[in-house]
Chain A
Amino acid sequence: MQPPVENYANPNTCLFHVLFKGAALAFYILSALFFNSFVIIFVVTVLLAALDFWVVKNVSGRILVGLRWWNEINDLGESVWKFESLDQESLARMNKKDSWLFWWTLYLAAAAWLILGVFSLIRFQADYLLVVGVCLSLNAANIIGFTKCKKDAKKQFQQFASQTIASRFQSTVQSAFTLV
């Protein structure tokens, strides 16, 4: 008997995650057909990209994959980057489809902006290159932040697992000795 196919656990969040990215890309690509003014293209595209950055960082990262990253300035005045993830139980329970969508759309959007950037470079359009540059850096920031979170989470899990194994081993040995 086939287990039922898992559906998206958070369809609304998934939608918003994809919505702003897609809107920014679509607007940028299609706007040349409708608007003559660079200002509108710039402002709307960058605004959509910034909203997408905020949504991914603060909402969909937390809800779809249980990861979070931010920057703090500690009391010594130094800048500290914090990477956080939910504990292993909750992470294991995350919906697979959600996280697949999260990561793949992140990578695809960055790749799309890269290609658009190459186009505008070829055409020597410096102002459009500016737009692409801003959007690309926002996407890259999110990718780097979340990848670091994931690596951190894996490292913690491995540490935890090895610690647990070590302590279990230790207690087994101890109980073996006390039985003698």
Chain B
Amino acid sequence: MSHNDTIPLYQSSQSDIDEIENMMNDGFQSGPGTVLPARPPSPIRPSIPVSSSPFVQSNLPPLPPSSSSAAQKVTPVPAPPSLPPAVNFGSSEGSKTTGFGSPPNTWTEPVWDTVKRDLSRIVSNLKLVVFPNPNREDPGKALRDWDLWGPFFFIVFLGLTLSWSASVKKSEVFAVAFALLAAGAVILTLNVLLLGGHIIFFQSLSLLGYCLFPLDVGAVICMLKDNVILKMIVVTVTLAWSSWAAYPFMSAAVNPRRKALALYPVFLMYVSVGFLIIAID
């Protein structure tokens, strides 16, 4: 059967379909001479789920009709109309291409799916970094899926909260907070890299941004209640929480003898932000 001149719609599906058809041919023995019922080929092709895990099991059910349709898919490839209906897959766009290497067909997904996927990525990154969970043992694997949206929101939120709490010079407070946090994240990352550590620039920025979440919470509490003692307690607690969150990732990235050199500046930055929170009135 000549499938070679079918035009691959998506780079991924052609090889999968060929493999599946080889399996089916062993069972079905349908040769070119067999008359097979005509079926519209195009809707079937995109619906075969392409996932990076062994796809055999999940693909078998819809196959019997498609082996016949694929046999006919020689010349009149119905030119795929502008874009076939939305195909949604569980894995994300930039996702782990383990082994099979075929990126999922997210070309034609509706915008809302993209939004939801990105939002869920932010939430999962947050949970990974800030809350205790088993993945913290393997920092390299965690935060694979870095994104900068979470850090962006947290930094802006912290700046806004500080600015709101300030009774004078609101603009300066915001600008200083934002610049301090953004520049601080960049400099801390450079620090790790210069110490000979192995960390990816954006991954580290993302991590340091997510670790600001506890400080955000602390800033909100301090904004609502103006008691100095309470502020100090809250800031100390959230400071410790932030440092605890950042610790495994930063320490795993550098040589054990240089751990303190990498972690101390991080702690220092969080302390200075903490002072900023306490001092604002």
Contacts and interface: CB of A to CB of B under 8 A. Distances in A.
Q: Do A and B bind each other?
A: yes
Interface string B15-37: 00000000000000000000000
Interface in A85-101: 86-87, 89-90, 93
A87 B8 CA distance: 8
A38 B11 contact: no
A130 B7 contact: no
Interface stretch (A67-75, A109-117, A168-176): A67-75
Nearest to A50: B152
Contacts of B198: 77
A162 to B, nearest CB: 19
A89 B160 contact: no
B111 A43 contact: no
Contact of A73 (B82, B93, B144, B175): B144
Interface size range of chain A in the complex:
20 to 34
A70 B93 contact: yes
B179 interface: yes
Contact of B175 (A62, A77, A130): A130
Nearest to A78: B200
B171 A77 contact: no
A73 B203 contact: yes
A38 B103 contact: no
A43 B93 contact: no
B178 interface: yes
Given A39-B160, A46-B156, A59-B111, A127 B175 contact: yes
B111 A42 contact: no
A84 B101 CA distance: 13
Contacts of A90: 80
Interface string B77-116: 0011010000000000111111000010001000100100
Given A46-B156, A70-B93, A73-B144, A39 B163 contact: yes
Interface residues of B, number: 40
B196 interface: no
A73 B200 contact: yes
A73 B179 contact: no
B146 interface: yes
Contacts of B144: 73
B172 to A, nearest CB: 8
B202 interface: yes
A19 interface: no
Interface string B182-201: 00000000000000001011
Interface string B33-63: 0000000000000000000000000000000
Interface string A42-85: 11001100100010001100100010101111010111001010
B107 A43 contact: no
A59 B200 contact: no
Contacts of B249: none
Contact of B179 (A9, A77, A87, A130): A130
B160 A43 contact: yes
Contacts of B114: 58-59
Contacts of A46: 156
Interface in B128-175: 140, 144-146, 149, 152, 156, 159-160, 163, 170-171, 174-175
B10 to A, nearest CB: 8
Contacts of B93: 58, 68, 70
B178 A42 contact: yes
B216 to A, nearest CB: 15
13 contacts: A37-B170, A38-B171, A39-B160, A42-B174, A43-B160, A54-B149, A58-B118, A73-B146, A77-B198, A77-B200, A93-B79, A127-B171, A130-B178
Given A58-B93, A87-B7, A130-B175, 9 more contacts: A38-B171, A39-B163, A47-B156, A71-B94, A73-B144, A75-B98, A79-B200, A79-B202, A89-B7
Closest 7 CB pairs between A and B? Answer: A38-B171, A70-B94, A39-B174, A79-B200, A73-B144, A127-B175, A58-B114
